[in-house]
Amino acid sequence: MGFEPRIVGFLCNWCSYTGADLAGTSRIKYQPNVSVIRVMCSARIDPTFVLKALATGADGVIVCGCHPGDCHYSEGNYKTMRRFPLLKKMLKDFGVEEDRVRLEWVSASEGQRFSEVINEMTDKVRALGPSRIRISLDADKVER
Amino acid sequence: MDKKKLQIALYWGAACGGCDVAVLDTNEFILDVAAACDIRMWPIAADGKYKDIEAMADGELDLAIFNGAIRTSENEHIAKLLRKKSKTMVAFGSCAHLGGIPAMANQFNKEEIFEKAYLKNPSIQEGNAAVPTPHTRVEAGELEIPVFYKRVYKLDDIVDVDYYLPGCPPAPEQVKAVLKLIVSGGPLPAKGSVVGASDRALCDDCQRKKEEKMVKQFHRPWQILQDPERCLMEQGILCAGSATRSGCGVRCPNSNMPCRGCYGPLPGVVDQGAKILSAVSSIIDSKDPAEIEKILEGIQDITGYAYRFGMAASLLQRSVR
Ligand code: SF4
Ligand code: SF4
C-alpha cells in the first residue's frame, strides 16, 4: 500500500470550519487525510502548535482562516498573515519542505474551495513522502 | 577528603568557559565556597582527573555543577559518570540547560559542519585539510579522540538533572545566591526547578518606556541610533525580552543591547523560539502580504535569533536536512 500522509488542519470557527461543514453537508468528496482541529480564530494558532504537530508525527499542517477583512474578531487573521511567513522561513532552516505547511483563506461559503485546497495539500504532502522529523527525533535517542 | 565538608565537582562539556568564569566572578565569595567544600574536580581552576572521579563511590559527591552542552562522547561519558557519583546535579548555564550556542549547530548536519570547519575553512593550508576521526594509527600506536556526535544535546537529554541555573552565563549574583543556599544546607527547592531566576518575563523588569509596538522596518542594533529610554522592539530592534525569563538584572537592554533570550523560556512555555517568533511577527505594521515579506527581509536569521540558546530544547531540536 502506498504512503498515506497524516495532516493536521487548524480551522477557524467562523469561516473555514463552517466552510468545511458546508463541504460536508453538500456531500462534496475530498481526501480523508486531514484531522481537523477547530480553533476560535486563525490567530489562536501559536507557532508552537504547528511545531508540536510536526514533532509528534504529522506529515503536514494546514491552517485555514477567514479572508483578510472578514475576521470575526476584525484583525485576528492579519496576525496570522504576519506570523506565518516568518514561521515558514524558520521551518525552511529546519529542513522542512515548503509544501508541508500551508496557510489558506477559506470562507464559510467556500465548501467547494475547501475540498480543493485539502485535495491539493494532500496530493503535495503525499508526493513528499513521510516527514523525517519524528523519525529522526526518535533515532537521535538511540544513535548519537 | 574531609568528610564534614561538602564534596563538589564542577565540570564543562561543550562550553566556551564563560560559565566557569561566572563562578569565579563571585569574587572573594568563592573562597568561602572553597572553605566549606572539597572541590574534587574543576578543570578550569583546580586539579582532579577523570580516574579520580571513576574511583569514587556512587553518590560520594554531594553536588556536581555541569556547564556546557553534550557534543561529543567525552561530554556524555563524564556527564553520566558525574551523575552516578553525585547526589545532586545542576545544569549550569544556557548550554547545559537548553543546548545554548553550541546547539545552534543543530541547524546543520555533521557533514556540513566538518566541511565548513575542517575542509573549506579559509585558514586551512593547501593540502592540509583533514577531518578528525575517532581512531588514528600513527607509528607510536593508536590515537583516540572523542566521537563528534551528529547533533548537540542538552544535559537532561543524557542524564537526570535536579536543578537548572540559566543564563549565558548565569549572573554572578544569582550564582552566589544559589551556592550560598547549597553551602548553608538550607532547604532546597523542588527537584526540576529553575533556580537563580525569576518567574516573570524580562520585559516586566525592563525599565524602558513601552508604548505602541508597531514597526515598518527592522534594524540590527548597529544600524540605527537608538533612543536609550524606549523599548528596543518599538524601535525595530529585535528583543527577546517578552519571551524570556527574567533574573539576569536586565543586563542587555540596560547596556543598550537587545535581550537574546539566554535565561530561557518562561514557566509553562514549551518552545521559546516559537514565542520569540510570535512576538516579532506581532509588531509588523502591515496588512499587505507583499509588504510584510518586504519588512521581513530586515530580519537576517530568524532561526538563529529565535533559537540562539534553545535549539536543543525546541520542539524540532535540529534540522532534518
Ligand atoms: S522588548 Fe526588550 S527593550 Fe522592550 S521592554 Fe522588553 S526587554 Fe525591554
Ligand atoms: S537580557 Fe536577555 S540575553 Fe541578556 S543576559 Fe538577560 S536574559 Fe540573557
State chain A's mean pLDDT as an integer: 95
Single out the residue of B130, B22, B132 nearest to residue B71, CA to CA: B132
Which residues in chain A touch residue B292, judged by CB atoms under 8 angstroms apart?
81-82, 85
Q: Which residues have any ligand 1 atom within 6 Å of their CB?
A: B 202-203, 206, 208, 210, 231-233, 239, 241-242, 253, 258-259
Q: Are A53 and A124 in contact (CB under 8 A)?
A: no
Q: pLDDT value at position A20?
A: 96
Return per-residue pLDDT of chain B as tens, 321 residues.
Answer: 666 789 999 999 999 999 999 999 998 998 888 888 999 999 998 888 899 999 999 999 999 999 999 999 999 999 999 999 999 999 999 999 999 999 999 999 999 999 999 999 999 988 888 898 999 999 999 999 999 999 999 999 999 999 999 999 999 999 999 988 888 888 889 999 999 999 999 999 999 999 988 999 999 999 999 999 999 999 999 999 999 999 999 999 999 999 999 999 999 999 999 999 999 999 999 999 999 999 999 999 999 999 999 999 999 999 998
pLDDT of amino acid B38: 92
- pTM for the full predicted model: 0.94
CA–CA distance, A78 with A72 (Å, rounded to integer)? 12
Roughly what angle, to the nearest 10 degrees, separates helices A76-93 and B289-296? 40
Alpha helices in A6-110 (DSSP H): 16-25, 47-55, 76-93
The most distant pair of C-alpha atoms in chain A lies apart, rounded to whole Å, by 52
The whole-number pLDDT of residue B3 equals 63
C-alpha cell of residue B68: 556546557
Instruction: Please give the backbone phi and psi of residue B245, each rounded to the nearest 5 degrees, phi first.
Output: -70, 135
Q: Is B311 exposed, middle or buried (0-12, 13-18, 19+ CB in 10 A)?
A: buried
Q: Do A110 and A19 meet the contact criterion of CB atoms below 8 Å apart?
A: yes
Nearest to B53 by CA among B12, B91, B93, B8: B8
Chain position carrying cell 548536519? B109
What would the grid cell of residue A56 be?
509528534
Short-list B97, B262, B92, B245, CA closest to B178: B92
Please give the ipTM for the structure prediction: 0.95
Tally the residues of chain B. Answer: 321
Average pLDDT of the residues in A33-59:
96
Which residues on A lie below 8 Å from B299 (Cβ)?
86
For the stretch A120-129, pLDDT in tens is 999 999 999 9
Nearest Cα to Cα of residue A40 among A16, A58, A7, A8: A16
Q: Name residue, grid cell 561538602.
A: B6
Which of B149, B270, B302 is closest, CB to CB, to A86? B302
Q: How far is the CA of B260 from the centre of ligand 2 (A)?
A: 6
Residue A1 has a pLDDT of 64
Distance B134 CA to ligand 1 centre (A): 46
